[in-house]
Amino acid sequence: MSRRNGHGAKKELDFELNLTSLIDLLSTCTCFLLISAVWIQIGTVEIKQSHGTEAAAAAKDSFDLDLVFKSASDLHLQLKKDGKPVKGIDVKADTNEAMLIKLNEAIANQILNKDNKSKKMTIAVATVTPKSTVNYGQLVSTLDVLRKNQIVNIGVLTAKGQ
């Protein structure tokens, strides 16, 4: 198939693509992206030291949760309302990983769905009390379990009880 142009010469339909500029563009793009690539994805777990901030004053009707580490695989949960203890749960296992699974179940079943109502309970502030035998990685894993259960206002109790 051919088409005649104004001068009578045949114009070729089988065209050639100039690949040099395309390859240049792709190599530049690749170089830029390789240089600016982030190989380690760093994220954050936010801690709000709740004393004296809006977090504590947000909702008086809701419950507070205290988590006290006895050891890396032994944790005591204390549910409070207006500062008064409502329910205490001991979460204990052989390993820290097993304890975290039990903690997740305890928060989901025994605390957030405490009264078996369709509406889930809201925890205003969760306070974690660390212990020297618990390392930072295990502390963050515990905070992770809380965040997974939509508890986002988390404070960590310091040694002076602040």
Partner 1 sequence: MRLNQSIVAANPFEKHLINRRRKKGKGMRSPQFTLMLTSMVDMFSMLVIFLLQTFSNTPEVSMLKGMQLPNSMTPSIVREAPVLAISRDGNLYLDQKLVGKTSDVSKKPDELLNKLNIIKKGWVSSHTSAFTGEINLQADREVESTTVSLVMGVLTASQFQSIQLAVIGK
| Helix, coil or strand: residue 89 | strand
Which residue in 22, 57, 58, 101 binds partner 1 (CB under 8 A)?
A: 22
Per-residue x/- marks for partner 1, 86-125, CB under 8 A? ----------------------------------------
d(CA 94, CA 18): 67
d(CA 76, CA 98): 15
Which residue in 11, 92, 120, 148 binds partner 1 (CB under 8 A)?
A: 148
Spell out the residues 6+ positions from residue 28 whose beta carbon is closer than 8 angstroms to its own. none
- Evaluate whether 57 touches 42 at the Cβ level (below 8 Å): no
Is 2 one of the binding residues for partner 1 (CB under 8 A)?
no
- Residues forming contacts to partner 1 in the complex (CB under 8 A) are 14-17, 19, 22-23, 26-27, 29-30, 33-34, 36-38, 40-49, 51-53, 69, 130-132, 134-141, 143-144, 147-148, 156-160, 162
